[in-house]
Amino acid sequence: MLLLAFELYARRASALGSDSLAPVSAAVQAWWGAALDGSLWQATAFTLGTAALGLGVGSLLALTGGIALGLSARAARMGFMTTELLRTVPSVALIPLAMLMFGFGVRMEMAVVAFATFWPLMLLVQAAVRQVEPRLLEVSRVLGLSARERAFKIVLPAIAPRLFVALRLGVAVALVVAVTVEIAANPNGMGYAMMIAQQSFDPALMLAWLGWIGVVGYAVNAAMLRLQQCVARRMGAA
């Protein structure tokens, strides 16, 4: 119903001489054209690949830091002020610094995505570790397990369900930040393609990219949810 309403509104606006909107049918045609010439798949692959790299780096660092802070109350107290100061820095504010350090391209975007995903993931991992059954940790200490063995044999299996919830949040953040970086600075990916369409006064293609970004985000989230359910079943969840 919303698409039909927008179609009728855009057609009426076009009839009155407005060129700032395009009907849904024109956006679909523009999407099909981008799919046929390959630009759609090239930009999508760049955005998803860069977001995945940044999420991977941010997740690995967040998992390590979250487990360390969750297991050690002293480390959590020492790192509290640093965490609270840095996690409030908007990730897009790092774009100028990342451009100076890495230039345009994959590394710059990956660095900003990694920074944006690191802080929420680390805090969620830290909270999950703190809720691990204390008796499990006591048993690990009695058995003389090393810190590495404790993390892999006790902590990670215990926090696996919450870890996937954190990863789903990280995936959403990574995609949003990746597209934002491309709109603001990086001449690659879906965000840049949408900006080029807007600057070229091609509202149909711009709306096509906007709708496609939404579809890609939905598909990625659905894939993560499916993966979470598969892992939960393998771990014995009903």
End-to-end CA distance of the chain: 37
CA gap 168, 110 in Å, rounded: 18
User: To 5 degrees, how large is the angle CA 163–CA 167–CA 171?
Assistant: 175
pTM (predicted TM-score):
0.81
Q: Is the pLDDT of residue 152 over 80?
A: no
Q: What is the 3-state secondary structure (H, E, C) of 50-79?
A: HHHHHHHHHHHHHHHHHHHHHHCHHHHHHH
3-class secondary-structure state, position 131 = coil
Q: Is the pLDDT of residue 235 over 70?
A: no
Average pLDDT over all residues of the chain: 84
According to the model, what pLDDT value does residue 10 have? 80
**Dihedral angle computed from the Cα positions of residues 100, 104, 105 and 108, in that order, rounded to the nearest 10 degrees:** 30
pLDDT (tens digit, 9 = 90+) per residue, 160-213?
A: 777 878 888 888 889 999 999 988 887 888 999 999 988 888 888 999 999 999
pLDDT band per the 50, 70, 90 thresholds, residue 45: very high
The identity of residue 81, as a single letter, is M
